[in-house]
């Protein structure tokens, strides 16, 4: 038997609607792998998923979790990619909050080793890499503002923008995160609890910023829109500050000044990673090469305070931890499952 986490009701109150189910370990079929998950990636959107915000047609019980790193535990028939038992793979599929899962072998992401440090490259890293290039159209010399810069996806956005030759400004909420952002090469970290973001941008960037990687929403979004330079692009990555609300949508409507955008030839661009699936292989390969060359750091957090998060039972704690805003880098849960094949 193995165990997985499911949502039995729809709500943003993750802890209240999840439960652990036990099932027989499945046998992989044609072209499939059985993966034994070791490390689970926690995402801000895990509570959007339990709230049913992504696809109203999905009814509980819902399989949860978007990503994991694990090992091949069994290889199905007619597999052609040479996977062997014990090979490390990244999994980027719904249902990853599970001790074991079946995936198509062509969707497995081969990894050099089974380590949590690869988790940030999956959903978080792909979002940063693809969004900055395809929606942000970043180029050398651009001034790029990253919000929630010390978080799961923000840390990669900071480093990738820096590697592209941009000047990077990053927001965060603690001195610990300020230190991390400096280590990652962020040119102007801003602790918005200590300094006014609006004033820093107004005083230090009077011509505005060229690109904003914006994932916080609410007041932060408004400040960022108003700080765009001529021809500036704000990428809507998310709106984490509003996800805990009970509304059906990710974020309530926010007024935007059309005049201001027009006067600056500026734009606001939505970005949703699944629309860019074709870009995944090239962006993943680029990031793995950067990690191997020591040019990209993947910061992970198993609960620096309140952790370590071990076992499916601790996924709710890990989600709460992310929402406490204390996480430095990507939050993850380690699985030490006892079930054996």
Q: Which residues bind ligand NAP (CB under 6 A)?
A: 43-45, 123-124, 127, 148, 150-154, 171-173, 177, 215-216, 237-241, 271-273, 322-323, 325, 327
Question: Whole-number minimum distance, CB 242 to ligand NAP, in Å?
Answer: 8
Give 195's contacts (C-beta < 8 A, 6+ positions apart): none
Q: Is the dihedral of CA 64, 66, 70, 76 positive or negative?
A: positive
Q: Which is nearer to ligand NAP, 79 or 237 (CB)?
A: 237
Question: Whole-number minimum distance, CB 320 to ligand NAP, in Å?
Answer: 10
Q: Which is nearer to ligand NAP, 32 or 153 (CB)?
A: 153
Question: Whole-number minimum distance, CB 12 to ligand NAP, in Å?
Answer: 12
Residues making up the chain, counted from first to last: 341
CA end-to-end span of the chain, whole Å? 8
Q: Which is nearer to ligand NAP, 106 or 175 (CB)?
A: 175
Burial category of 144 from C-beta neighbours within 10 Å (exposed 0-12, middle 13-18, buried 19 and up): buried
Whole-number Å distance between alpha carbons of 5 and 20: 5
Q: Which is nearer to ligand NAP, 43 or 316 (CB)?
A: 43
Q: Which is nearer to ligand NAP, 50 or 241 (CB)?
A: 241
Q: Which is nearer to ligand NAP, 61 or 218 (CB)?
A: 218
- Two structure tokens written together for 44: 């801000």
Phi, psi of 12 (to 5 degrees): -80, -10
Cα dihedral 267→270→271→272 (10° resolution): -170
Q: Which is nearer to ligand NAP, 83 or 118 (CB)?
A: 118
Question: Whole-number minimum distance, CB 130 to ligand NAP, in Å?
Answer: 9
Other beta carbons less than 10 A from residue 336's beta carbon: 8
Output the CA–CA distances (angstroms, integers) from residue 19 to 48, 214, 245, 314, in the order listed.
Answer: 17, 32, 22, 11
Describe the chain by its helix, strand, coil percentages, rounded to 5: 30, 25, 40
Other beta carbons less than 10 A from residue 293's beta carbon: 8
Question: Whole-number minimum distance, CB 306 to ligand NAP, in Å?
Answer: 13
Question: Whole-number minimum distance, CB 313 to ligand NAP, in Å?
Answer: 21
Question: Whole-number minimum distance, CB 44 to ligand NAP, in Å?
Answer: 4
């Amino acid at each position: 038997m193995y165990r997985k986490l499911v949502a039995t009701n729809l709500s943003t109150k993750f802890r209240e609607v999840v439960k652990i189910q036990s099932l027989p370990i499945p046998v992989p079929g044609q072209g499939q792998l059985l993966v034994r998950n070791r490390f689970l990636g926690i995402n801000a959107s895990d509570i959007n998923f339990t709230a049913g915000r992504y696809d109203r047609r999905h009814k509980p019980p819902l399989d949860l979790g978007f990503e994991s790193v694990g090992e091949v535990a069994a290889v199905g028939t007619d597999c052609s990619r040479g996977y062997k038992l014990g090979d490390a793979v990244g999994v980027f599929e719904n249902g990853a909050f599970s001790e074991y899962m079946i995936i198509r072998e062509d969707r497995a992401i081969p990894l050099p080793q089974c380590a949590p440090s690869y988790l940030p490259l999956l959903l978080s890293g792909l979002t940063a890499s693809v969004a900055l290039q395809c929606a942000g159209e970043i180029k050398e010399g651009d001034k790029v503002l990253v919000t929630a810069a010390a978080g799961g996806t923000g840390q990669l956005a900071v480093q990738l923008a820096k590697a592209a030759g941009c000047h990077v400004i990053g927001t965060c909420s603690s001195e610990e995160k300020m230190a991390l952002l400096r280590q990652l090469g962020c040119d102007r970290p801003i602790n918005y609890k200590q300094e006014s973001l609006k004033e820093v941008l107004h005083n230090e960037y009077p011509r505005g910023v060229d690109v904003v990687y914006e994932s916080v929403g609410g007041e932060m979004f408004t400040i960022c829109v108003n700080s765009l330079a001529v021809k500036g692009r704000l990428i809507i990555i998310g709106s984490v500050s509003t996800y805990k609300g009970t509304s059906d949508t990710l974020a309530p409507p926010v007024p935007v000044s059309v005049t201001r955008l027009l006067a600056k030839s500026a734009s606001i661009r939505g970005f949703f990673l699944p629309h860019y699936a074709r870009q995944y292989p090239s962006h993943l390969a680029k990031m793995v090469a950067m990690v191997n060359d020591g040019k990209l750091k993947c910061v992970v957090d198993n609960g620096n305070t309140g952790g370590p998060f071990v076992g499916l039972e601790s996924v709710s704690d890990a989600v709460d931890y992310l929402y406490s805003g204390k996480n430095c880098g990507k939050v993850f849960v380690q699985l030490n499952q006892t079930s054996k094949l």
